């Protein structure tokens, strides 16, 4: 069996920098046409100048002949100026501004503490410039249970935000709950959408503890109950245009995952398309796969759809236990497992 689909894009991707960038980028550029590149480097990418320089280093790191296009983002802080949004739009290189609530996840310590105060003029300028806000949707209050942080964020931040700024385009990134599905479906189509990762479609929170602690299944927002996973699968396989592919592929070296305080992040770029195809096939919705992988994202961002195609063949292939690089190893999602769908250029 074989499927030919329009080349997908990845609307949520961590490419890192330096050696790690060079090591991981082929796994995205092999399959995807474009990627929304997250700005949570050290230091974070807070200015247009830094984003443009980061874009150059990504282009240099691409394998020869690759036509992958990085779509850059800015990291929002309490001190980002409205003028920076004008510069970002003018550069033609920047396609979104990422909101990390301070302390929510990897390298978010410089994130936002005062969205409705200090950041309001920036959000208003983003409406002017038609620049989407990409949201890590979790509260950081340590008294809120880690499994409730997305729902509390929706109730206390996102819902008030869209009521106050109904013309702001918002992508709720890597949704993990039935609450997020309901929220996105309740908003005006074309203004609020969500990305969905392979792990939140395939795994529930039991996978964190299966036979012992499983650090390679740890990401943020953390995996949730099975009912939430099922709600997300139903949403994406329904054919709704509000949901699109965003892997949140977030590589960390094996030694930084398998240690006393392991990093959050799942490296899924090598397996993402195989896993999305598995989810849609199991739901009897392979006919809806292409819109999710290749149409809904560019349509929301107002960008053209890709014109080239890729093939997905139903042929078993074994995921490596790890990928070795000069500096160390990275363990991918589904390491050592046999997957059924194999992507290649058409
Ligand atoms: O699991 C995660 N890893 N979630 C994030 O929000 C950030 C990411 C990373 O950069 O490693
Ligand atoms: Zn991410």
Q: What is the mean pLDDT of the chain?
A: 97
Share of the chain above pLDDT 90, in %: 97
- Kindly report, residue by residue over 287-296, the tens digit of the pLDDT: 999 999 999 9
Active-site annotation holder among 31, 136, 169, 278: 136
Expressed as residue numbers, the domain containing 188 is 2-345
Output DSSP code: residue 245.
E
Separation of CA 250 and ligand 2 centre (Å): 7
pLDDT of 315 over the 80 cut: yes
How much is the pLDDT for 282? 98
Which residues, in sequence order, are CB contacts of 246 under 8 Å at separation 6+? 10, 11, 12, 13, 36, 171, 173, 174, 195, 196, 197, 297
pLDDT of 346 over the 80 cut: no
Token pair of 27 as six digits: 């796994």
Q: At what angle do helices 178-186 and 226-237 cross, to 10 degrees?
A: 30
- Give how far Cα 12 sits from Cα of 55, 70, 125, Å: 15, 11, 23
Task: Tell me the average pLDDT across 306-328.
Answer: 96
How much is the pLDDT for 50? 98
Which residues, in sequence order, are CB contacts of 231 under 8 Å at separation 6+? 177, 178, 181
**CA 146 to mean position of chain CA atoms:** 20
Separation of CA 37 and ligand 2 centre (Å): 9
Ligand 1 neighbour 40 (Cβ under 6 A)? yes
Share of the chain above pLDDT 70, in %: 100
Instruction: Look at residues 242, 245, 205, 244 and name the one whose alpha carbon lies nearest to residue 227.
Output: 205
Q: Identify whether the C-beta of residue 25 lies closer than 8 Å to the C-beta of residue 69.
A: no
Ligand 1 neighbour 134 (Cβ under 6 A)? no
Supply the residue whose CA is at minimum distance from atom 2 of ligand 1: 265
pLDDT tier, 104 (very low <50, low <70, confident <90, very high otherwise):
confident
- Kindly report, residue by residue over 18-28, the tens digit of the pLDDT: 999 999 999 99
Atom of ligand 1 nearest to the CA of 252: 11
- Kindly report, residue by residue over 184-208, the tens digit of the pLDDT: 999 999 999 999 999 999 999 999 9
Which residue of 12, 16, 40, 197 sits with most ligand 1 atoms within 8 Å of its CB, as the best mutation to test the pocket? 40
Whole-angstrom distance, CA of residue 208 vs CA of residue 205: 6
Ligand 1 neighbour 265 (Cβ under 6 A)? yes
Whole-angstrom distance, CA of residue 192 vs CA of residue 185: 9
How much is the pLDDT for 248? 98
- Kindly report, residue by residue over 24-49, the tens digit of the pLDDT: 999 999 999 999 999 999 999 999 99
**CA 119 to mean position of chain CA atoms:** 23
| 3-class DSSP state of 49 | helix
Counting every residue written for the chain, the total comes to 346
Active site residue 136: yes
- Kindly report, residue by residue over 127-185, the tens digit of the pLDDT: 999 999 999 999 999 999 999 999 999 999 999 999 999 999 999 999 999 999 999 99
pLDDT tier, 262 (very low <50, low <70, confident <90, very high otherwise):
very high
| 3-class DSSP state of 84 | helix
Instruction: Look at residues 95, 106, 139 and name the one whose alpha carbon lies nearest to residue 40.
Output: 106
How much is the pLDDT for 345? 74
Q: At what angle do helices 272-282 and 226-237 cross, to 10 degrees?
A: 90
Instruction: Provide the number of structural domains found in the chain.
Output: 1
Question: What CATH code is carried by the domain that includes residue 98?
Answer: 3.20.20.140
Active site residue 174: yes
How much is the pLDDT for 344? 87
Separation of CA 305 and ligand 2 centre (Å): 23
Active site residue 224: no
Separation of CA 264 and ligand 2 centre (Å): 10
Question: What φ, ψ does residue 237 adopt, rounded to 5°?
Answer: -90, 0
Beta partners for residue 266, in sequence order = 249
Q: Identify whether the C-beta of residue 73 lies closer than 8 Å to the C-beta of residue 36.
A: yes
How much is the pLDDT for 105? 85
Question: What φ, ψ does residue 93 adopt, rounded to 5°?
Answer: -105, -15
CB atoms within 10 A of CB 1: 10
pTM, full prediction: 0.98
**CA 186 to mean position of chain CA atoms:** 21
């Amino acid at each position: 069996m074989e499927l030919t689909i329009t080349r997908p894009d990845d609307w949520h991707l961590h490419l890192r920098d330096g050696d790690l960038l060079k090591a991981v980028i082929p796994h995205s550029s092999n399959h995807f046409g474009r990627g929304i590149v997250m700005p949570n480097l050290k230091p974070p990418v807070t200015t247009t100048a830094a984003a443009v320089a980061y874009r150059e280093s990504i282009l240099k790191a691409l394998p020869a002949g690759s036509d992958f296009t990085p779509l850059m983002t800015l990291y929002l802080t309490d001190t980002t100026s409205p003028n920076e949004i004008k510069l970002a739009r003018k550069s033609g290189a920047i396609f979104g501004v990422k909101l990390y609530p301070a302390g929510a996840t990897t390298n978010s310590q410089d994130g936002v503490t005062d969205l409705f105060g200090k950041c309001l003029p920036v959000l208003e300028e983003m409406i002017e410039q038609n620049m989407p806000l990409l949201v890590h949707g979790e509260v950081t209050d340590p008294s809120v249970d880690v499994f409730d942080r997305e729902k509390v964020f929706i109730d206390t931040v996102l819902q008030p935000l869209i009521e106050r700024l109904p013309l702001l385009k918002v992508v709720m990134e890597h949704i993990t709950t039935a609450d997020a599905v309901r929220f996105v479906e309740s908003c005006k189509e074309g203004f609020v959408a969500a990305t969905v990762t392979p792990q939140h479609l395939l795994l529930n929170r039991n996978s964190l503890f299966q036979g012992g602690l499983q650090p390679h299944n740890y990401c943020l927002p953390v995996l949730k109950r099975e009912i939430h996973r099922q709600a997300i699968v139903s949403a994406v396989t329904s054919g709704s245009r509000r949901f699109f592919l965003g892997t949140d592929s977030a590589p960390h070296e094996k030694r930084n995952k398998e240690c006393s305080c392991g990093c959050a992040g799942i490296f899924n770029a090598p397996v993402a398309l195989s896993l999305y195809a598995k989810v849609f096939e199991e739901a009897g919705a392979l006919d809806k796969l292409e819109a999710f992988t290749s149409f809904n994202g560019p349509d929301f961002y107002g960008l053209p759809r890709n014109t080239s195609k890729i093939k997905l063949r139903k042929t078993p292939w074994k995921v490596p236990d790890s990928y070795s690089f000069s500096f160390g190893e990275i363990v991918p999602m589904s390491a050592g497992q046999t997957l059924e769908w194999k992507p290649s250029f058409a």
